[in-house]
Structure 1
Amino acid sequence: MTVAVATALFLLTVVLAFAVAVPRGLPEALVAVPAACLVLLLGLTTPAAALGEVAELGPTVAFLAAILLLGYLAEVEGVFAWLGARMAAAGRGSPQRLLGLTFVAASATTAVLSLDATVVLLTPVVLATARLLAVRARPHVYACTHLANSASLVLPVSNLTNLLAFAASGLTFLGFAALMALPWLVVIAVEYAVFRWWFRADLRVVRAAPAPAPDVATPGFALAVLAATLVGFGVSSLFGVEPVWVAAAGAAVLGGRVLAARRAGPVALLRAADPLFCVFVLALGVVVLAVTENGLGAALAAVVPSAPTLPGLLGLAALAAVLANVVNNIPATLVLLAVLGDAPPPGLVLAVLIGVNVGPNLTYVGSLATLLWRRVLARTEAAPTVREFTALGLLTVPAGLVLAVLALWAGLQVR
Structure 2
Amino acid sequence: MSLLLAVALLAAVLAAATLRPFGLPEAVVAVPAALVAVVAGLVTPAGAWTEIGELAPTVGFLAAILLLGHLADAEGVFRWLGARLATASAGSARRLLVAVFAAAAGTTAVLSLDATVVLLTPVVLATAARLGVASRPHSFACAHLSNSASGLLPVSNLTNLLAFSASGVGFLTFAGLMVGPWVAVIVVEYLVLRWVFRRDLAAAPEPAPADPAVPTPAAPVVALSVLGLTLAGFALASPLGVEPGWVAAAGAAVLAVRALVRRKTGPLRLVAAASPGFCLFVLALGVVVAGIGAQGLSGWIGALLPATPDLTGLLVTAAVAAVLANLVNNLPATLVLLTALGPAAHPGLVLAMLLGVNIGPNLTYAGSLATLLWRRIATGYGDPPRLGTFLRLGALTVPLGLLAATTALWAALAVLPR
If the length of structure 1 is used for normalisation, what is the TM-score? 0.98
Code of the residue aligned with 1:129 in structure 2: it is T
SS in 1 for 2:218: coil
CA distance in 1: counterparts of 2:214 and 2:14, whole angstroms: 42
Q: How does 1:314-333 map to 2 (within 5 A)?
A: 314-333=315-334
Displacement of 1:377 = 1.1
Which ranges of 4 or more aligned residues in structure 1 deviate by more than 4 Å? 209-214
CA distance in 2: counterparts of 1:379 and 1:42, whole angstroms: 40
Match of residue 302 from structure 1: 303
Displacement of 1:209 = 4.2
Match of residue 252 from structure 2: 251
CA distance in 2: counterparts of 1:50 and 1:144, whole angstroms: 36
CA distance in 1: counterparts of 2:74 and 2:194, whole angstroms: 33
Q: Is the 8 A contact 2:113 2:147 kept in 1?
A: yes
SS in 2 for 1:218: coil
Q: Is the 8 A contact 1:156 1:173 kept in 2?
A: yes
Displacement of 1:379 = 4.6
CA distance in 1: counterparts of 2:238 and 2:162, whole angstroms: 16
Percentage of matched positions with identical amino acids: 61
Match of residue 81 from structure 1: 79
Match of residue 289 from structure 1: 290
The total of aligned residue pairs comes to 413
1:111 pairs with 2:123: no
Match of residue 159 from structure 1: 157
Q: Deviations over 1:294-344 (max 9, x none)?
A: 021121121111121211110010000000000000000000001111132
Q: Is the 8 A contact 1:132 1:213 kept in 2?
A: no
Match of residue 133 from structure 2: 135
CA distance in 2: counterparts of 1:367 and 1:278, whole angstroms: 16
Displacement of 1:213 = 6.9
- When structure 1 is superposed on structure 2, of 294-303 and 33-42 the one drifting more is 294-303
Q: Deviations over 1:107-129 (max 9, x none)?
A: 00000000000000000000000
Match of residue 34 from structure 1: 32
CA distance in 2: counterparts of 1:255 and 1:307, whole angstroms: 46
Q: Deviations over 1:350-399 (max 9, x none)?
A: 01100000000000000000000000011544210111101010010000
Unaligned runs of 5+ in 1: none
Unaligned runs of 5+ in 2: none
SS in 2 for 1:302: helix
Match of residue 70 from structure 2: 72
Code of the residue aligned with 2:68 in structure 1: it is L
Code of the residue aligned with 1:75 in structure 2: it is D
Q: Is the 8 A contact 2:91 2:205 kept in 1?
A: no
Displacement of 1:46 = 0.7
CA 1:214 to 1:88, structure 2 compared with 1: closer, same or farther past 3 Å? farther
Q: How does 1:13-412 map to 2 (within 5 A)?
A: 13-209=11-207, 214-412=215-413
Code of the residue aligned with 1:72 in structure 2: it is H
SS in 2 for 1:378: helix
Displacement of 1:293 = 1.0
Q: Is the 8 A contact 1:85 1:214 kept in 2?
A: no
CA distance in 2: counterparts of 1:32 and 1:369, whole angstroms: 18
Q: Deviations over 1:100-158 (max 9, x none)?
A: 00000000000000000000000000000001111010000110010000000100111
CA distance in 2: counterparts of 1:394 and 1:288, whole angstroms: 28
Code of the residue aligned with 2:166 in structure 1: it is A
CA distance in 2: counterparts of 1:37 and 1:379, whole angstroms: 35
CA distance in 2: counterparts of 1:158 and 1:81, whole angstroms: 21
CA distance in 2: counterparts of 1:136 and 1:159, whole angstroms: 29
Code of the residue aligned with 2:199 in structure 1: it is A
Q: Is the 8 A contact 1:135 1:207 kept in 2?
A: yes
CA distance in 2: counterparts of 1:360 and 1:57, whole angstroms: 22
Q: Is the 8 A contact 1:139 1:199 kept in 2?
A: yes
CA 1:359 to 1:400, structure 2 compared with 1: closer, same or farther past 3 Å? same
Q: Deviations over 1:139-185 (max 9, x none)?
A: 00110010000000100111110011111111111111000000000
Q: Is the 8 A contact 1:358 1:401 kept in 2?
A: yes
CA distance in 2: counterparts of 1:352 and 1:217, whole angstroms: 42
CA distance in 2: counterparts of 1:326 and 1:213, whole angstroms: 46
Q: Deviations over 1:189-239 (max 9, x none)?
A: 000000110000000113334677741111000000000000010011122
- When structure 1 is superposed on structure 2, of 253-262 and 375-384 the one drifting more is 375-384
Q: Is the 8 A contact 1:136 1:206 kept in 2?
A: no
Code of the residue aligned with 1:389 in structure 2: it is F
CA distance in 1: counterparts of 2:206 and 2:13, whole angstroms: 46
Q: Is the 8 A contact 2:122 2:381 kept in 1?
A: no
Code of the residue aligned with 2:175 in structure 1: it is A
Code of the residue aligned with 2:349 in structure 1: it is L
Q: Deviations over 1:264-313 (max 9, x none)?
A: 11111101100110110000000001101102112112111112121111
CA distance in 2: counterparts of 1:214 and 1:343, whole angstroms: 56
Code of the residue aligned with 2:265 in structure 1: it is A
SS in 2 for 1:96: helix
If the length of structure 2 is used for normalisation, what is the TM-score? 0.97
